[in-house]
Chain A
Amino acid sequence: MKPAIEFNGFSYAYRQDKLALNNIQVSIPKGSFTVITGPSGAGKTTLCLAIAGAVPQYFGGSVAGNVQVNQTDTRNISMHDLALHVGSVLQDYESQLVAMTVEEEIAFGLENMGMAEHDIQERVRRVLQRVGLEGLEQREVSSLSGGQKQRLAIAGVLVLEPEIIVLDEPTSALDPQGAVQIYELLHTLNSQGVTVVVVEHDLSQVLSYAQQVLVIHEGKLLYCGTLSEVLPCMIDYPELQTAMPILWQVKLQLEEALERKFADWRSVEDAKQDIVRFIMQNKGVCRSA
């Protein structure tokens, strides 16, 4: 499958003295659900901004290597044009909401693109349904809950129908239920073909969805792979252990104690089934002995 995003030896420094990203070499496949994790200040946000073209176009700074989105170098395309392919939801998503009402907020990007009124209304209607905000068109943005504002921020970028959506810690300000709802929405979008890239500190939230995990540490790409490839390696780094899902901490400890490999635990249900299977197998062994 062709990659949606490619980092080719990409290094970046906001100022001359310190590299925010150091020789990043990674490829994010089209239609994948990729999670970026790492300790605070590791360079996760910079990586997201590089995909959106804001690094280096908006921030300036020094660059080596390149980032390609759909085989186009992000430095050879304006941020406005790149926004048609990459939708970005920033960490402080509330600052991203600039209009007074829900409808105006969603229409904002389309108005900037100079789209005809009829098409704007049609797209706004469609995207409101997609993110579950139908019926709230005339509500004032300031009166929405945190989860609704997050959905609105997603709707604001989805309305441009980008193939890629990048979200920087989308659930950091949400309650657990709101976080689950946001990830379910992202999963639905992903199953509709949208490439999803998410920055997440708490990997337990994305266990069921993540297809690829990138671990960033001090600006470098430490690991890249599936959950089962990456999570066991993270245990070696104390600063990364907080991101480890409890379920996987238990799994890895059990594997070490029992000297046996379990399948990927993406949910408590998976873990339960795996453990029951193991117990049943052991009973069989005991009986035959």
Chain B
Amino acid sequence: MRRYAPLTKLILTIIISIWAILFDSPAILAGVAGLQLLLLAITRVSTTVYKGILGLVMFALMLAVMQYLFGATISLALVTGLRMLNMTLIFIIMLASTRISDITAALVKQCRIPSDYAFMFTAALRFIPDFLEESKAVREAQSCRGYSSRGNAFKRMKSYLTVVEPLVLRAVTKSETMAMSLELRGFGSQRQQASLAHVALHGRDYILISLTTLVTLALIINKLQPIGF
């Protein structure tokens, strides 16, 4: 997957998401999910990605159970869980196999998205580790002042407010500083934005895009005029 251009992976993400909507058989959806896991294994990603996927699988399972408990059939419950899993799996594969700057460059250069919006995407991802670290620091600081995450769900939610409040304030301050520093580093100037990223499409990209697009078109046609898929 790493050899494919970011745009190809972006398109593939959209295509797999469409497939997840078009298919309504749990077996086929499970097959697509299996295929994606195989793709992930070939891509060789870090163990943290697998941990994240395990969390996703648990969430999908929970979603299916909830659906079932609220009156859906087993088949529909499974389809809902698998759809969510398929849509998120491909997104994770894309993120794990592509540099964020390359995704941003593809969004700007090839999808013609204004660089400001594409930058927002990069910046949001860049600050996730910082945000988690700060959340840990605030939790620790608040535990010294009596914060506890024990008790029933309502109690926990109420006490978590003491963590959320300073966290939000810090995030706002950080974003203000960041906005100013961006100005100081020439972001948003009228000059033509350059990029170190290489995002050009190659033969293999065109083949993959064409094949998956054709399959998707066939699936859509089949959905509109069933011929037996």
Contact = CB atoms under 8 A, between A and B. Distances in A.
Contact of A121 (B173, B184, B189, B196): B196
A95 B101 CA distance: 18
Contacts of A97: 126
B135 interface: no
The 10 closest A-B pairs by CB, nearest first: A112-B186, A142-B129, A80-B189, A95-B177, A114-B191, A96-B181, A114-B192, A80-B186, A109-B185, A95-B174
Given A92-B177, A99-B122, A100-B126, A113 B189 contact: yes
Which label, helix, strand, loop or mixed, suits the secondary structure of the B interface?
A: helix
A152 interface: no
A157 interface: yes
A98 interface: yes
A115 B186 contact: no
B196 A142 contact: no
A78 interface: yes
Given A54-B183, A83-B184, 17 more contacts: A79-B183, A80-B186, A90-B177, A90-B184, A92-B173, A94-B130, A95-B181, A98-B123, A98-B182, A104-B101, A107-B196, A108-B187, A112-B188, A113-B189, A120-B196, A121-B196, A160-B186
Given A79-B183, A104-B101, A112-B185, A99 B126 contact: yes
Contacts of B188: 80, 112
A74 interface: no
A78 B187 CA distance: 12
Contacts of A54: 180, 183-184
Contacts of A113: 186, 189, 191, 194
Contact of A111 (B173, B182, B194): B194
Contacts of A80: 183, 186, 188-189, 191
Nearest to B192: A114
A58 B180 CA distance: 7
B47 interface: no
Nearest to B196: A107
Contacts of B194: 110-111, 113-117, 120
B100 interface: yes
B196 A99 contact: no
Interface in B185-210: 185-189, 191-196
A194 interface: no
Interface residues of B, number: 31
B174 to A, nearest CB: 5
Contacts of A108: 185, 187
Contacts of B27: none
Interface in B75-101: 99-101
A169 interface: no
A199 interface: no
A6 interface: no
A89 to B, nearest CB: 9
B125 interface: yes
Interface string A81-92: 001100010101
A100 B183 contact: no
Given A103-B196, A104-B101, A114-B194, A92 B174 contact: yes
A96 B189 contact: no
18 contacts: A54-B184, A78-B189, A80-B183, A83-B184, A83-B186, A90-B184, A95-B175, A98-B123, A98-B126, A99-B101, A100-B126, A111-B194, A112-B191, A112-B193, A114-B192, A117-B194, A141-B126, A156-B185
Contacts of B186: 80, 83-84, 109, 112-113, 160
A232 B225 CA distance: 91
Nearest to A120: B196
A164 to B, nearest CB: 13
